[in-house]
Amino acid sequence: MVYVLNSDGSPLMPCTEAKARHLIESRKAKVVRRTPFIIRLAFLVEGEVNTESLTLGVDAGSSVIGVSVTTEGRVLLEAEAEVRKDVPQNIEERRSKRRGRRNRKTRYREQRSDNRKRPKGWLTPTMETKVRAHENVIGKVCSILPVSRIVIESASFDIQKIRDPEVEGEQYQQGEQLGYENVKAYVRARDGFRCRSCGSRDHLEVHHISQRKDGGSNSPDNLITLCHGCHRGWHEGKKDMVTLSEYPGFKAATEMSTMRWILLDRVRKAYPGIPVEEAYGYVTNHERKSHGLEKRHFIDARVISGNATARSDGILWHAVARRSHNRKIHKDTILKKGVRKANQAARKVAGYGLGDNVMYAGQLCCIHGRRSSGYFDIRRLDGIRVHAGIHYRHLTLVERANTNLIYKEVVEVSPSGRA
């Protein structure tokens, strides 16, 4: 599939590779990017071109973001983006450097006490990066496809349906199983995603304190989160060994839900012309299971978009955020005689920069390290080293670096996805 831009830069429906080749050969289009393949038309297509409705599903996550653009029957784009993990570490490093600078014999720098008012909607740098990562992915997708609706999974459960008994009737109509999934998601969050007995975070299950066969209900006060081990222990009669801890409260779940709310708000403001809807995680889980689909972020995104049975061509794009430069001027360890060694090579060496895609011996590689001598550390796109020091003569430029490292994965198309 090739993504197509109108001559004014606005997205059009994607076309086939054969069509794109024809357009390029007849000089009616130009290549904009190769990963993924995007072309731009040389002539303006006017009028209502997009008759199909395109939905973008977003599986918001704190480490991986899944996105999927679907029509009723077809998957047009699927991607998983990794969120940067280095932010807390960088902030800590900055803090200690500032502290060091204050104590060193330099210009007097007064300690900045926390006397500045934070603007409304301020987030910690870690949270801000996470929210922005989502905004960026959504922005990228909307710039290459004419998306007409956005659905974001904003919470894993619907608290309204649990608190308000009035909704019970409606929940019953939707199926008891779905209502139970909602309660289970709520119970997991209430218990802080930990076993209420041993505190483990792995293999969590939801247990009925008073069992179903003894008339126990599916209400949250009859349910607790236990890990697989403790759960088995309970049912094997070693109930006394299981001691329940206090409710840890919502703390663990708060970060994620705050992030999702802010995201929803920002996306709504950024795309006033596109309806932005919310989806609940428990509904996604239920749908995914009922279609027998695999648990992966892009599959969840496909389910969130509302077209779980859309047919995919099996291509999944990965985007990993990476730095394009290093702003640290010199190495931390100062050499003898107070020589401060430069921390980095020039931004571009022999025309190549960090992250540029190059061809070496018939293999697609990426510049991982550059030295002023003109030798490069090149790696495969998945990070495996190809050469630790290769001279630039042996390299040919394929594509300039992007803030994201983008590579393709061919995934097995799930059975029901073949339809």
Residue number, 75 or 227, with CB nearest to Zn ion: 227
Judge if the upstream peptide bond of residue 146 is cis by omega within 30 degrees of 0: no
Smallest distance, Zn ion to C-beta of residue 221, A:
15
Least distance (Å) from Zn ion to the CB of residue 212?
A: 9
Task: Give the separation between CA 339 and CA 335, rounded to whole angstroms.
Answer: 5
Task: Give the end-to-end CA distance of the chain in Å, rounded to a whole number.
Answer: 19
Closest CB to Zn ion among residues 138, 230: 230
Nearest to 368 by CA among 349, 351, 350, 388: 388
Task: In angstroms, give the least distance from the CB of 220 to Zn ion.
Answer: 15
Q: In terms of CB distance, is 83 or 195 closer to Zn ion?
A: 195
Q: Smallest distance, Å, CB 199 to Zn ion?
A: 7
Measured between alpha carbons, how far is residue 186 from residues 78, 135, 158, 254 in Å? 29, 27, 8, 12
Q: In angstroms, rounded to a whole number, what is the distance separating the alpha carbons of residues 80 and 64? A: 7
Tokens representing residue 307 in the block: 């077209």
Nearer to Zn ion, 198 or 321 (CB): 198
Least distance to Zn ion from the beta carbon of 201, Å? 10
Nearer to Zn ion, 232 or 331 (CB): 232
Phi, psi angle pair for 259, to nearest 5°? -60, -45
Residue closer to Zn ion, measured from CB, 204 or 262? 204
Q: Which is nearer to Zn ion, 198 or 381 (CB)?
A: 198
Task: Show the CA angle centred on residue 157, arms to residues 248 and 267, nearest 5°.
Answer: 110
Report the residue number, 45 or 241, with the smaller CB distance to Zn ion.
241
| Nearest distance from C-beta of residue 226 to Zn ion, angstroms | 6
| Smaller CB separation from Zn ion, 137 or 195 | 195
C-beta closer to Zn ion: residue 205 or 399: 205
CB-based contacts of 189, cutoff 8 Å, min separation 6: 156, 157, 250, 252, 253
Locate 419 and state its tokens: 């339809």
CB of 207 to Zn ion, least distance (A): 3
Which of 68, 197, 206, 71 shows the shortest CA–CA distance to 137?
Answer: 68
- Smallest gap from Cβ 242 to Zn ion, in A, equals 8
CB of 182 to Zn ion, least distance (A): 19
Rg (Cα) of the chain, in Å, rounded?
26
**Binding residues for Zn ion (CB under 5 A):** 195, 197-198, 200, 207, 227, 230
Closest CB 186 distance from Zn ion, rounded Å? 17
- Nearer Cβ to Zn ion, position 186 or 352? 186
Phi, psi of 43 (to 5 degrees): -120, 155
Residue type, 21: R
User: 66: which strand partners?
Assistant: 59, 80
